[in-house]
Amino acid sequence: MNQTMQRLSNSLQRTTMPIPRSNDFKLAALALAALVAALVPHVASATLGQPEITVQTDVELAHAAIKYSEDRTGYRVHEIQLSSGTAVREFVAPNGTVFAVAWQGPTRPDLRQLLGQYFDAFASVPRTKFTDRRHVQIQQGDLVLQSSGHMRALTGRAYLRSAIPSGVNLGDLH
């Protein structure tokens, strides 16, 4: 168990001990731990198009901390704060599917982990006369990936069109 895991573990104990009767709260915290695990390489995890996963206690939780989790109308959003300063948000449909992910910060998160099977679509965009280093928009099958920004401030998101719960405003997915 590395230091970050230990910190998270301590954090969970601190959170849960004052309210030992709140199993719901504890479960929510453990679910969040799983989400944090999702962002670390080499760990099976929550990824675009995949379900929120079960808790894994043996994960390596480097470079991440939970910031908040929030139920919104029609979906739930988890924000994970990376030590790099970059924030990652995962948007979960009522059926448990991660239908969108978003990032914002000085550098990108591990997108191979975050995008899963959709990572390669972003890795093979040809340079054309329309290309600059500030914008990319991909629409490929079910996937939409949009990113903008500049050095030291990069932002982006990816979502699956077929998985967006009804009533969700795309403008809110950031």
Partner 1 sequence: MVSVRALKTGWCVLLCLSAVACGGGGGSGVSSGPPPTSTNNTASVIVDEGPLNQSVNTLFTTVTVCVPGSTTNCQTIDHIQVDTGSYGLRILASVLTVTLPVETLASGNSLAECTQFVDGFSWGPIVTADIQIAGETAHSVPVESIGDSRLPNIPAGCSSTGGTEEDTVSTFGANGILGVGPFELDCGDCDTVTHGLYFACASSGCTDTTVPDNQQMPNPVTHFAADNNGVIVVLPSVAAGGASDVMGSLIFGIDTQTDNASGTETVLTVDDNAELEIAFNNGQPLASSFLDSGSNGIYFSDPSIVTCTAPPSDPTSQIVNFYCPSNTLTLPVTIQGMNGTMTDNLTFGVGNAITMLDTNFDAYPQLAGIIPPGSGVGFDYGLAFFYGKRVAVAVQGAVTTAGTGPYFAF
- List the Cα angle 170/171/173 in 5-degree steps: 70
Measure the CA–CA gap between 22 and 30, rounded to whole angstroms. 13
| Stretch 143-162 residues interacting with partner 1 (CB under 8 A) | 146-157
Min separation Cβ 29 and partner 1, Å: 26
Helix (H, G, I), strand (E, B) or coil at 26: helix
Q: Is 85 in the site for partner 1 (CB under 8 A)?
A: yes
Residue 140: how many CB atoms within 10 A of its CB? 13
Q: How far from chain centre, in Å, is Cα 150?
A: 21
Q: Is 124 in the site for partner 1 (CB under 8 A)?
A: yes
Min separation Cβ 54 and partner 1, Å: 24
User: Residue 21 or 152: which CB sits closer to partner 1?
Assistant: 152
| Stretch 22-81 residues interacting with partner 1 (CB under 8 A) | 41, 63
Min separation Cβ 80 and partner 1, Å: 16
Min separation Cβ 18 and partner 1, Å: 32
Q: Which two tokens stand for residue 156?
A: 């982006």
Q: Which of 23, 107, 117, 162 binds partner 1 (CB under 8 A)?
A: 107
Q: How far are the Cα atoms of 16, 54, 71, 115, 159 from residue 145, in angstroms, in the given order?
A: 38, 27, 24, 10, 7
Chain residues in the site for partner 1 (CB under 8 A)? 41, 63, 83-85, 102, 104, 106-113, 115, 119, 122-137, 146-157, 169-174
